[in-house]
A = this chain, B = another copy of it.
Amino acid sequence: MTRRNKTKGETDMNDYSRGGFTLPGEAGYEKLTLEMAEKWGADVIRDSDGTKLSDEITRAGYRIYSTICIIREHNAFAQLHPDAQQQSFLCSKPLIASSDTLEIRPMEGYFAEQFEVNDSPEAMEYWQVWDRTANTLVSPEKWSYSAGAVTVEGCEPFHRYSVSFLAWRVWEEINMYNHTTNHWTSEHLRQLDPRHPLAWEYLKKWLKDWCESNPQTDVVRLTSLFYNFVWIFGDDMRLRSRFVDWASYDFTVSPAALKAFEAEYGYALTAEDFINKGLLQATHRPPTKAKKDYMDFIQRFVAEKAKELVDIIHAYGKQAYVFYDDSWVGMEPCGKYFPSIGFDGLIKCVFSGFECRLCARAKVETHELRFHPYLFPVGLGGLPTFSEGGRPEKDALSYWMHVRRALARQTVQRIGLGGYLHLTIGQDKFNDLIADMAREFRHIKALHEEGEPAALPIRVAVMHYWGPLRSWTLSGHFHETDNNVLIHINEALSGHPVDVSFISFDDVKQGALKDVDVLINAGREGDAWSGGDVWKDSGLVSEITRFVYEGGSLIGAGEPSAVQGGDTLFALSHVFGVDMDKGQYACHTPWTYETQPSPFIFAEEAIGKTEGIRVTSPDTLVLLEKDSVPALTLNCFGKGRAIYMGGFTYSPEAANMLLEMLKYLRGVEGTAAGKADDPLVECAWFPKNRVLLVMNNAETPVKTRVSCPAGSEEITLEPFETRFMEL
């Protein structure tokens, strides 16, 4: 980001030099800590995983955050009470029965430092052996377990059998990851299950003791709650990380949880409800009814227990903030029960705009973003950041380009960093950049405090299986889910002057479309984002048909509304005017077409191709084809319109295209929300302050006309510049 001198019509950036900034302090670097706090305008100092704060820091007049991971670092207790540890269902590799007896060693292939078989009587009740060839459960009389092996008798020849079993998780997964990645030699940290009564009493006592012995702490920063996202390691380095789902509930399970569920819901869950033929139930797939019930059950449990912790913290006059990552399962900020916990703040680490919006919309007093890169020698992907070859200022700027536009739409109260502060020594470019970003953040926040930015009269609803529970996010960061078209769309939406909501298919059936102008469905056949079997519901299909027919707009990307078994693959094919051939159209010729000029600006590179797409109506307009496959189409349907995109890859150009598309669909023109003529420049108009916030997303200078209700001006922006124009 290139800085500029103040010019006429600009606010003095120095007005925004302090506050809303959390600095990671570091004992042994007291002088640096206070210097950097001054430079970045920090008002809060925190500790981090691996750093401590000294008295010199905690007494320097800053508010103090102290990080705790409540279920971890209790190895002594865990040793004494191994049955208080957390568990998971696992499924053995299926083996072929080449005779009528088969021996299966369930743990084969799993990482023995992460898992240990739970063969306690109460766990064995839940073990199952499946004939995966016939998809039938093997009667318990036909198998037995002894010394690490299940022996199955009376096998069907050449059928495949697998064992579903419970395993203790004997290594907390974040510690396991850091440990194995960095070749640490320290003790493996274990984790306690708050459902275990003794463990829960112990944890509460521990927290009370902690609060008493940490009077300097203003805010307890919980990192995070109880149950980690699911991360299953294998013993073979060619398949070290077997399964990673950033939003799965499989690590919450235990015989106690299953019994409590059964008592409450009146039906029992089995191993297969979790194992699902060995495929598990990833967040990207629509859940079963049982899994959905179970998730609600866990969410309530997590909220209840978390509230007890928050109450303890409050009783000591401290505030409780929660960091939304790692052991966050069950505490989705947009979930039904999150507000009941009573957190004072939510901290989200962000790479992307959608994460900023996700944080900002949570019902909590203080929203804080922890920026990347983390002050660590290497980043998550293993590439250098604060070490030889790293360019931390480049990384930080690229994330800021995503976050800035989201902040322009909806602000948060605070930003900050984490990690080892001493790594900033000598990183002047990074340090200057953070100071600039912090000032810009404060300025944007100040604008929001005066009044909301102007928005266009366009209400967008993203529709998928999970609805509000998974607002903005799919499950994890952008780069963990970027093979899903929807995350690209969410990222684009995060900076647009439109109203965005996330609704489920059930919501649609219950009338949610009355508050929607543009409905979006984007995913792949059978996934939770496209919807899968929900599209067999004629009520859903006819409601969306009605919506568009009567004037609503629909955007589909990838394989929207796709399900097999109907007369079309896309249940909304008649609305889109395209369908996808997965072989069912054998011998049917598609409509021929000529590519038509587009009524809106589009970015060809941003649009992808879905193999098999074909035009199903002579009225469908193909605006772009790729390798002879329609990639962008427009269909008028009744009084409404539908746009189909084969794919959508986020970029500033892609984001601009999506906004142009939304405006075209709703017939919205003009500069009410601010507008730049250059597609790489975005604006936000704050009418109360009469400030036009102009953001250059390009790495080059851009000369463009910017316009808003107060006027229009030709300006030249530096690369990546943020400009606050008072008009």
Chain A residues at the B interface, C-beta cutoff of 8 Å: 94, 96, 98, 131-135, 156-160, 162, 230, 236, 238-239, 241-245, 248, 277-280, 282-285, 524-527, 538, 541-543, 545-546, 549, 564, 566-567, 574, 582-593, 611, 618, 638
Taking CB atoms, residues of chain B closer than 8 Å to A277 are 566-567
- Whether B282 lies near A587 (C-beta < 8 A) is yes
User: A94-B574, A592-B238 known; A586 and B285 CB under 8 Å?
Assistant: yes
Taking CB atoms, residues of chain B closer than 8 Å to A156 are 538, 542
The minimal Cβ–Cβ distance linking A117 to chain B, given in whole angstroms, is: 22
Q: How many copies does the complex hold?
A: 2
Question: What is the bound-complex CA distance between A564 and B245, given in angstroms?
Answer: 22
Taking CB atoms, residues of chain B closer than 8 Å to A574 are 94, 96, 160
User: A567-B279, A589-B239, A589-B244 known; A584 and B159 CB under 8 Å?
Assistant: no
- Whether A566 lies near B525 (C-beta < 8 A) is no
- Whether A591 lies near B546 (C-beta < 8 A) is no
- Whether A282 lies near B526 (C-beta < 8 A) is no
Taking CB atoms, residues of chain B closer than 8 Å to A230 are 587
- Whether A96 lies near B241 (C-beta < 8 A) is no
- Of the candidates A564, A584, A592, the one having the most CB atoms from chain B within 10 angstroms of its own CB is A584
Q: Which of B96, B241, B282, B583 contacts A545 (CB 8 A)?
A: B96
- Whether B583 lies near A285 (C-beta < 8 A) is yes
Looking across the interface, which residue of chain B has its beta carbon closest to that of A109? B618
Q: Which of B135, B244, B285, B582 contacts A526 (CB 8 A)?
A: B582
The minimal Cβ–Cβ distance linking A708 to chain B, given in whole angstroms, is: 41
Question: What is the bound-complex CA distance between A241 and B243, given in angstroms?
Answer: 48
Taking CB atoms, residues of chain B closer than 8 Å to A134 are 538
In addition to A282-B587, A524-B583, 6 A-B residue pairs with Cβ atoms within 8 Å of each other are: A133-B542, A158-B549, A159-B538, A160-B574, A242-B589, A527-B583
- Of the candidates A230, A524, A549, A588, the one having the most CB atoms from chain B within 10 angstroms of its own CB is A588
Looking across the interface, which residue of chain B has its beta carbon closest to that of A234? B589
Could you write out 29 A-B pairs with CB less than 8 Å apart?
A: A96-B545, A96-B638, A132-B567, A133-B541, A133-B542, A133-B545, A135-B538, A157-B542, A160-B574, A162-B567, A230-B587, A236-B618, A238-B592, A238-B593, A239-B591, A239-B618, A243-B588, A244-B589, A245-B586, A248-B587, A277-B566, A278-B567, A279-B584, A279-B588, A282-B586, A524-B583, A527-B583, A564-B564, A611-B611
The minimal Cβ–Cβ distance linking A357 to chain B, given in whole angstroms, is: 24
- Whether B542 lies near A159 (C-beta < 8 A) is yes
